[in-house]
Amino acid sequence: MPEQLHCLIVDDEPPAREVLKRYVEAIPSLVLVGECENAMQALSFLQQYPVQLLLLDIRMPVLMGTDFIKTLSHPPQVIFTTAHRDYAVEGFDLNAVDFLLKPISFERFLKAVNKVLQKNALDPAPPVSNFTVPEPVLSEAPAFLYLRIDRKMVKILLNEVFFLESLKDYVRIITVNGPLLVRQSLSSLEEMLPEQEFVRIHRSFIVARRHIRAYTHETMEVGNNELPIGRLYRNEVLKLL
């Protein structure tokens, strides 16, 4: 099982904290270690307990979330949450992993968490004192996503994916271990995939570049499958390949 990230929710609105708690509990790689109503409570918590991920509201009484981050000499990774779009630029200037606009959908939250997990896989943090953490893996870890499949969060190694196919409200993911069905749009999954490894060749297909066996102007062989290259995507696809 992958290392779990200890995360802290900081938000002055109880309903917002409840939503984030449900989302955190649905993702095996996250473990909720606490929740705070404001930045001063969060500061006290961080002085006593190790936290690797902050789910931090921006507009709060006493001290704004963005100002709070500036007071920390070694802040954890941060995903900002807010109902105010105007703070996005400042949030990213503080090296936030992502910026989530309320109301936050689970799909959008999962995309942000996947960014954190992929970043940690490529650049694992050293063990934190006060609790046991597995030693970082020295070999290069393959990129992955967690996606909701059959009411479970399933880890999908991207180097095992051949292609993705849009099926109306679902996406079929063809992997070395067989097909998986995800209730999500192809466009939302495209945003989560590393663009240097995947390419969209049709409105209904995204393929893994490592598994392309051959191609023409109109078709592409991926694994044992022949897929169409859409007319609108053709020039860009051929330019990339």
Cα 154 to Cα 160: distance, rounded to the nearest angstrom? 14
Determine the average pLDDT of the residues in 70-74.
88
Cα 235 to Cα 229: distance, rounded to the nearest angstrom? 10
Please give the CATH superfamily to which domain 5-122 belongs.
Answer: Response regulator (3.40.50.2300)
Among 141, 147, 91, residue whose Cα is nearest residue 114: 147
Cβ contact 165:185 at 8 Å: no
The full DSSP string for 215-231 is: E-SSEEEETTEEEEPPT
Cβ contact 75:38 at 8 Å: no
Determine the average pLDDT of the residues in 231-236.
91
Q: Specify the pTM.
A: 0.56
Cβ contact 172:180 at 8 Å: yes
Return the residue matching tokens 């955190």.
Answer: 24
Cβ contact 90:112 at 8 Å: no
**52-67 pLDDT, tens digit each:** 999 999 988 878 898 8
Q: How many residues does the structure list for the chain?
A: 241
The confidence band for 134, taking pLDDT boundaries of 50, 70 and 90, is very low
**178-230 pLDDT, tens digit each:** 999 999 899 988 888 888 889 999 999 999 999 999 999 999 999 889 999 99
Cα 63 to Cα 42: distance, rounded to the nearest angstrom? 11
User: Does CATH number 3.30.420.270 belong to domain 159-240?
Assistant: no
Burial 121-139 (b: 16+ CB within 10 A, else e): beebeeeeeeeebeeeeee
The answer to whether residue 98 scores a pLDDT higher than 70 is yes
The predicted structure's pLDDT at residue 140? 39
Which residues fall within 8 angstroms of residue 141, CB to CB, at 6 or more apart? 121, 122, 124
- What is the number of alpha carbons within 13 Å of residue 114 lying toward its C-beta? 25
Cα 100 to Cα 11: distance, rounded to the nearest angstrom? 13
The confidence band for 87, taking pLDDT boundaries of 50, 70 and 90, is low
The full DSSP string for 58-124 is: SS-SSS-HHHHHHT-SS--EEEEEES-GGGHHHHHHTT-SEEEESSPPHHHHHHHHHHHHHHHHHSP
Among 4-18, 93-107, 172-186, 208-222, name the one with the lowest average pLDDT: 93-107
Q: Kindly list the domain boundaries of the chain, sorted by start residue.
A: 5-122, 159-240
Cβ contact 162:169 at 8 Å: no
Record the tokens describing residue 183, joined without a space. 């209730």
Residue 225 sits at φ, ψ, to 5 deg, of -115, 140
The confidence band for 122, taking pLDDT boundaries of 50, 70 and 90, is low
Q: How many CB atoms within 10 Å of residue 240?
A: 11
